[in-house]
Amino acid sequence: MKIWKSALLSLSATIGLGASPALAADRVNASVSVDLDTPGARIEPEIQGQFAEHLGRGIYEGIWVGEDSPIPNTNGYRNDVLAALKELDIPVIRWPGGCFADEYDWRDGIGPRSERPKRINTHWGGVIDDNRFGTHEFLNFSEMVGAENYVAGNMGSGSPREMAQWLEYMTGSKPTTLVKERQANGRDKPWKVKYFGVGNESWGCGGNMRPEYSADLHRRYATFVKPQPGETVVKVATGANVDDYNFTEVLMREAVNQMDAISLHYYTFVGDWDHKGSATGGGRKEWVSTLSNALHMDELITKHSAIMDQYDPDKRVGLFVDEWGTWYDQEPGSTPGFLYQQNTLRDAEVAALTLNIFHRHTDRVKLAAIAQMVNVLQAMILTDGDKMLLTPTYHVFDMYKPFQGATPYPATIDTPEFSEGGKTLPVVDASVARGEDGQLYLSLVNLDPERAARVATDLKGAATGHILTGPKLDTHNTFDAPDTIKPATYSARPGRDGTLTFDLPAKSVVVVAIR
């Protein structure tokens, strides 16, 4: 048994539908105790943010089909996707990239759609982007979904003037030439742009810069990212890739006073960048390897945060994990460069474990954006023409909604471990927080692909919520069977001593409210 200290809490419960036969045979015991006297920093809703890039079928077809499309739409946005996204209470959306952002000229995406220039999307498939989705289409979309805007500017190939003028175009309220142009293009009131990214991945597709140069450029560009009088904008410096701690060190040392946040990008592969692996069909080895890679997020945040602490002990600067998620070999037969992949129960576990990690680092992690929203990488939603399905990752985000704005508590998780291929994982992970509605919420993840877990807790009350699980490691939804995996109701009643015990089937995610 290993003690896992966590800022979250776990319980074990009895499935409300009755005990599964799978529970009895090979079940392990774990326990969770929660320190309700030591609340942590708020779980900012923005950690459930999403990323939507001009990439593959993410924007075009996934979100935007145009007013003349036979696919039912509202002002060009497809109705089915819009309705599903609204359900998630998405706090923030990052756009237009990604790598795309550092080649993007915002002026390409305004004015009459038929007159907008056509450009090659050099990063993603070499296809033509005719810019029919631009600034107005994105900001109106966020407004319809109810999300804040996180606009990523072009530091790699654009100028500080372009960046400044884009912000003025979007948010200006005085009758300048740019504001009048916006109004002539159909938007009278200024939009609110809460977050502005000063470039993206400057160490790679954003310019292949050394951290010293990137820090200098950040200082220069950020100078011209000026909010309107009386407004604020959170300036996000393009930060490290994975474990490039030197990048964080240099950026913090040289530019801490010119930033409000610094980004971190980390993707989960089955193997590594050169061996991404398949989205479906993997066995125990691939399961363990993927989840182990996902859990690496904790170490990355811990180490980047420690560096940030040296230059920002008051924790003014946020760590924004604004690209994360699974990245597999693209779906066989799909368009090269479109990063389309299936999404299975394994992705659901990655999502839940990652959100739990963010809950443990709320002192620094103030925003995150899963990559990406629709049809790209670890997507919420997949579409095929007029068909749509919700992925297991969507269902996890739906189940985790009560954690938005909640106050986390430290939890001690006493759990067995299991190993495969030289990697060791805990069977149980957990997170506990008090929601904005005053109720206690608990998430529990059983990482073990074969064994059920009984989790004893010191929490009292009655627990009701949902469970996500499936018969196979790669259980997933298809367009012909879109409800193969979806949440089922779940409940637990207290034992004689009043405490809750939860029975978790193998490979499952549970979120309950405790009353």
Q: Which two tokens stand for residue 502?
A: 């939860």
* Binding residue (CB under 6 A) for ligand AHR from 31, 200, 248, 354: 200
* Binding residue (CB under 6 A) for ligand AHR from 62, 98, 392, 449: 98
Q: Quick one: which segment of 190-198, 228-236, 370-378, 467-475 binds ligand AHR (CB under 6 A)? A: 370-378
Pairing of strands 77-78, 92-95: unpaired
Q: Is 337 exposed, middle or buried (0-12, 13-18, 19+ CB in 10 A)?
A: middle
What is the smallest separation between the CB atom of 193 and ligand AHR, expressed in angstroms? 19
* Binding residue (CB under 6 A) for ligand AHR from 147, 163, 348, 371: 371
Q: Which two tokens stand for residue 429?
A: 């992970």
Q: Quick one: which segment of 56-64, 130-138, 371-379, 500-508 binds ligand AHR (CB under 6 A)? A: 371-379
Binding of residue 129 to ligand AHR (CB under 6 A): no
Residue 323 known to be catalytic: yes
Q: Say which residues have a Cβ less than 8 Å from residue 324's Cβ, sequence separation at least 6.
A: 265, 266, 267, 268, 297, 354, 368, 369, 370, 371
In whole angstroms, give the CA distance from residue 36 to residue 42. Answer: 14
Q: Quick one: which segment of 59-67, 94-102, 208-216, 455-463 binds ligand AHR (CB under 6 A)? A: 94-102
Q: Among residues 103 and 168, whose Cβ is nearest to ligand AHR?
A: 103
**What is residue 128's three-state secondary structure?**
strand
In whole angstroms, give the CA distance from residue 441 to residue 408. Answer: 9
Q: Among residues 53 and 312, whose Cβ is nearest to ligand AHR?
A: 53
Q: Which two tokens stand for residue 414?
A: 């006493």
Contact assessment for residue 402 and residue 408, using Cβ atoms and an 8 Å cutoff = no
Q: Which two tokens stand for residue 69?
A: 């499309």
Give the interface size with ligand AHR as a residue count (CB under 6 A): 10
User: HEC states along 309-349?
Assistant: HHHCCCCCCEEEEEEEEECCCCCCCCCCCCCCCCCEHHHHH
Task: Single out the catalytic residue among 46, 61, 201, 286.
Answer: 201
What is the smallest separation between the CB atom of 206 and ligand AHR, expressed in angstroms? 8
What is the smallest separation between the CB atom of 99 and ligand AHR, expressed in angstroms? 4
**What is residue 362's three-state secondary structure?**
coil
Q: Among residues 200 and 280, whose Cβ is nearest to ligand AHR?
A: 200
* Binding residue (CB under 6 A) for ligand AHR from 323, 347, 349, 448: 323
Q: Among residues 196 and 287, whose Cβ is nearest to ligand AHR?
A: 196
Q: What is the largest CA-CA distance in the chain?
A: 72
Residue 286 known to be catalytic: no
Binding of residue 62 to ligand AHR (CB under 6 A): no
Q: Among residues 200 and 508, whose Cβ is nearest to ligand AHR?
A: 200
Strand partners, 198: 153, 237
In whole angstroms, give the CA distance from residue 374 to residue 28. Answer: 37
Binding of residue 97 to ligand AHR (CB under 6 A): yes
Task: Single out the catalytic residue among 148, 162, 286, 323.
Answer: 323
Q: Quick one: which segment of 109-117, 369-377, 412-420, 429-437 binds ligand AHR (CB under 6 A)? A: 369-377
Q: Among residues 12 and 149, whose Cβ is nearest to ligand AHR?
A: 149
Contact assessment for residue 214 and residue 175, using Cβ atoms and an 8 Å cutoff = no
One-letter amino acid at 49 equals G
Q: Quick one: which segment of 92-100, 157-165, 254-262, 395-403 binds ligand AHR (CB under 6 A)? A: 92-100
Q: Among residues 244 and 420, whose Cβ is nearest to ligand AHR?
A: 244
Q: Quick one: which segment of 42-50, 72-80, 91-99, 358-366 binds ligand AHR (CB under 6 A)? A: 91-99
What is the smallest separation between the CB atom of 210 and ligand AHR, expressed in angstroms? 18
Taking each helix axis from N to C end, the angle separating 177-184 and 160-171, rounded to the nearest 10 degrees, works out to 60
Q: Among residues 154 and 508, whose Cβ is nearest to ligand AHR?
A: 154
Binding of residue 103 to ligand AHR (CB under 6 A): no
E strands present in 19-71 = 27-34, 49-51
Q: For residue 417, which of 407, 425, 408, 429 has the smallest C-alpha distance? A: 425
Q: Which two tokens stand for residue 96?
A: 């237009």
Site for ligand AHR, rule CB under 6 A: 53, 97-99, 200-201, 323, 371-372, 377
Residues labelled as active-site residues: 201, 323
